[in-house]
Every structure is written in structure tokens, then in C-alpha cells.
Chains A and B, each alone.
Chain A
Amino acid sequence: GAVVSQHPSWVICKSGTSVKIECRSLDFQATTMFWYRQFPKQSLMLMATSNEGSKATYEQGVEKDKFLINHASLTLSTLTVTSAHPEDSSFYICSARNPPGLAGVRETQYFGPGTRLLVL
């Protein structure tokens, strides 16, 4: 199956700093990746859709200047939380759609292991 990795898995930072999270598709090319945020005991909430070579599409209520997304290659998308504040502390997860050639429907998503962000 498709493998998606994230780095780092854990990050603790001071308020006001910026944090970059990487999402990589290890064995396939992903023209589209997704970024989710998950608060404790809650479900995943889609933040944005990352499109290779073009601007990301943000969900309603997500500040694009706050959460910068760059999808510079077919295997890498990055999410930068700018000027992070304690309320940005959360679990950030990326995913990619089932690539062509693998069994199953295209809308199945493969998720990274997540990045836990703690802003002090």
C-alpha cells in the first residue's frame, strides 16, 4: 500500500515562532495531499488541500496566512504554522489519495503518522 511519512513527529516551540511540518509520499507520487488537524477526543478536521505546483485550497475558517502550505514536488508537501500560539497546539496529520494503479477507489486516503505540536 501507499506509505506517507511526516516529520517531525513531535515539536515543542515557544509562542511566536514558526514551525514547519513535512509530509512525504514515500513510494508514490501525490499530486494532491491533505492537511488535517485533530484536537483531543475530536475527529479530524480538514484544513486545506495541497496541490502540487499551485496554491493550496483552504477550508472555511482556516487562515491561509497562518498556515502556509507548499507543495513543491510530487512527493513533498509542507505546512508551516507561522507565529504559533498556544491555541495552535494540536495534532496535525497529512494524507494523500490512493494513487492510480493501486486497488481500491481513488478517494481512499493514506495518512501520515501525525505531528504533535505543543506551543508554550
Chain B
Amino acid sequence: SQKIEQNSEALNIQEGKTATLTCNYTNYSPAYLQWYRQDPGRGPVFLLLIRENEKEKRKERLKVTFDTTLKQSLFHITASQPADSATYLCAYVNAGNMLTFGGGTRLMVKP
């Protein structure tokens, strides 16, 4: 069955650097992948969606890529700021039309 995997270890980077988070899927390529941000004690907030036939999508300092060969999506935050510190979740819509989330990766941006 399809699994979606994110690095469970926290990512610590210095302010101003580019943060790169990874989302891997194990089986078929989903029609699209979504990225959400979740702050502690809050619900997730939708950030970006990238379709299977799109290589890259950008929104301000955010960039998402989708590599169907590697079965991987990368999420980049350029010029990172301490306010970017949060947990980032990737998700796909499964065969039952339900959103399925990866475990999330916690990002810590140090000033």
C-alpha cells in the first residue's frame, strides 16, 4: 500500500539559509502532493500544492518540487526566518479520496 514518509528528525538551520524538507512516497505517483504548516497546538495550514505533471511550484519564499522518478517531493524555504519554525507536513489524496499525511518534519530556524 502507499506510504508517505518524512524525516522524523528535526531540521535545525541558521537564519538566512535555505531549508529543504523531504517527502517520499513508496508506491504510485499521486496526482498531486500538498504541503501544510502546523504550529504547536494549532491545526495545519495549507501552503502549496504541486501536481504530478508539474516539476516545480513557487510561492514567495517557498518552492516545491515533484520528482516522479525519485518518488519524492522537496519543500524549500529560502532566506529562512525564525518565524518559519514549525512542523511541515506533506499529504496526498488516497484512492478513497481522503487526505493522508506524512509524519511531518519539525524545522527550527535559529537567529
- Chain A bound to chain B: yes
Number of interface residues of B (CB under 8 A): 20
Which of B82-101 touch A at CB < 8 Å? 89, 93, 97-101
Nearest CB in chain A to that of B104: its residue:
A43
Which residue in chain B gives the minimum CB-CB distance to A105?
B49
- Main SS at interface, chain A: strand
Q: Given A49-B98, A108-B34, A109-B99, are A43 and B89 also a contact pair (CB < 8 Å)?
A: yes
**Which residues of chain B are near A43, meaning CB under 8 Å?**
89, 101-104
Q: Is the CB of A42 within 8 A of B46?
A: no
Bound form: Cα–Cα A93–B32 in Å: 23
Tell me if A44 and B101 are in contact (CB < 8 A): yes
Bitwise, A14-39 to B at CB < 8 A (1) or not (0) is 00000000000000000000100000
The chain B residue with its CB closest to the CB of A114 is B43
Instruction: Give the docked Cα–Cα distance between A46 and B42 (Å).
Output: 16
- Specify the main secondary structure of chain B where it touches its partner: strand
B41 at the interface (CB under 8 A from A): yes
Range of interface residues on chain A?
20 to 34
Provided the pairs A113-B42, A113-B43, A114-B41 are in contact, do residues A107 and B104 lie with their beta carbons within 8 angstroms?
A: no
* B16 in the interface (beta carbon within 8 A): no
In the complex the two chains form, is B98's CB within 8 Å of A112's CB? no
Cβ–Cβ contact A107 & B93, under 8 A? yes
Instruction: State whether A105 and B43 are in contact (beta carbons under 8 Å apart), knowing that A43-B104, A46-B99, A49-B98 are contacts in the complex.
Output: no
> Assuming A91-B41, A105-B32, A116-B41, is B98 touching A46 (CB within 8 A)?
yes
Q: Please list the 5 inter-chain residue pairs (A to B) with the smallest Cβ-Cβ separation, ordered nearest first.
A: A111-B43, A43-B101, A107-B93, A43-B103, A93-B43
Interface residues in chain B, defined as those with a beta carbon under 8 Å from any beta carbon in chain A: 32, 34, 36, 41-46, 49, 89, 93, 97-104
Q: Other than the known A107-B99, A108-B49, what 16 A-B pairs have Cβ atoms closer than 8 Å?
A: A34-B99, A43-B103, A43-B104, A44-B89, A46-B98, A49-B98, A93-B44, A107-B34, A107-B97, A108-B46, A109-B99, A112-B43, A113-B42, A114-B41, A114-B42, A116-B41
